[in-house]
Each structure stands twice: as C-alpha cells, then as structure tokens.
Amino acid sequence: MTKAEKAQFVIDTLENIYPETPIPLNHKDPYTLLIAVLLSAQSTDARVNTITPLLFAKADNPYDMIKLSVDKIREIIKPVGLSPMKSKGIYGLSHILINKHNGKVPQSFEHLEALPAVGHKTASVVMSQAFEIPAFHVDTHIHRLLYRWNLTNGKNVIQTEKDAKRLFPKELWNKLHLQIIFYGREFSQARGWNLENDLITKTIGRKSVLDAYYKKKK
C-alpha cells in the first residue's frame, strides 16, 4: 500500500469502529473544557472526570475561580497530579481571561498558548472540540500509532503532527484524532499489546514493529 492508501484504510476502519466520537472529558463550555484538558496532562480522562465536578461545583467560570486561592485549587485537584503547576496555571489563566478577554476563552492558538500552563496540545484540543476549528494535536497514543502504522518516522510529536495533517483531509482532523485515541486505548496499547486484536497494525504496520512484536512473543 502507498501511504495515501494506508491513510484511507485507517479512515475507513476507524469510521466503522467509532462512528460516534464523544469528547472524553466532561465539560459544559469552552472554559470548563480548557480546565479539564489542562488537568489531563500526565493523568487519565477518567481521573480528571472524578475531580472536575468537585472543582466546578465551587468555580465553573473564571470569575468564581479567582475567588479561590491557589492553595484551595491545588487541594481540590491534587489527585490528578502536578497540582502545584496546574493550580497556578488555572488561577493565572482565569485572571488573564478576565483582564484581556472579557472572561471568555479566546478562539486563537496564539492567545490560548499565551495562557499559563497551556501548550500547543491543550490549545489544539480546545480549538477543535470547543470551537470546531480543525486541529490535529498529537498525544502519546497518536504518536505511537502513526509510527506503528508507518505513517510517520516517529522522531518527535511535532513531525508526527505535520505528517498527520499532510496525510489526512482537514475536514476529518477533529473526529479522526479522537478515533485514533480511542483505537489506541482499546486495541494498540503501549503495554499489554495484543497484535492479533489490532487490525490496522496487522494490515499496514511498520515491518520493524511487527518483527519486534513476534520476536518478543517467542
């Protein structure tokens, strides 16, 4: 298969398995999504979804959030990890949203990435999932899978994102990125991976990845 044919196989297979792609992080608007995505760094969506109701019960908008202290925010979000950095980020970005953006989450990569504790990945999630602006952010699942599928050289997430945007139609980015994440979690995990259940990798996988898998199984 050519890379274009492989990309189409991925699109067709994922659309068949995941015709619907609900956003994994519970939220009600762009602000609560921004906070949830920030909290998800080096944590799981499931864990974040147990903590955000506690935080949002006290503050689900920037005006109420700045009424809390950094220490109070940190106390609530501690179970998700990296709480010192995340609590300062939440408090700081809430002030900036009020002072510079009338309390609204900006629909701009430039403005989002200027917020404390908000990097390109977080900004991309918000742009795609809150505002439906095409973005294809690369997390560990997407980076791993596109390498296994020989659709990127896997040197770094920046290159993987460029390769993904080149291979897949822009109008599919927002849905496809979620489909790949779902597939990676269910069929192509980093640990405990069972290739027999992984249809896409079995069909189009990188030879070195397949050889390494079977060698390890012997």
For residue range 65-123, list pLDDT tens digits in order: 999 999 999 999 999 999 999 999 999 999 999 999 999 999 999 999 999 999 999 99
Please name each of the domains of the chain with its CATH number. 3-20+137-217 (1.10.1670.10), 30-130 (1.10.340.30)
Token pair belonging to 180: 């790949």
Does residue 182 surpass a pLDDT of 90?
yes
| pTM exceeds 0.75 | yes
Cβ–Cβ under 8 Å, residues 64 and 42: no
Q: Let me know if 139 is a catalytic residue.
A: yes
pLDDT at residue 140, as a whole number: 82
Catalytic residue among 139, 162, 165, 175: 139
163 catalytic per annotation: no
Is 38 exposed, middle or buried, given 0-12, 13-18 or 19+ CB atoms closer than 10 A? buried
pLDDT of residue 194: 95
pLDDT of residue 137: 86
List the catalytic residue out of 60, 121, 163, 198.
121
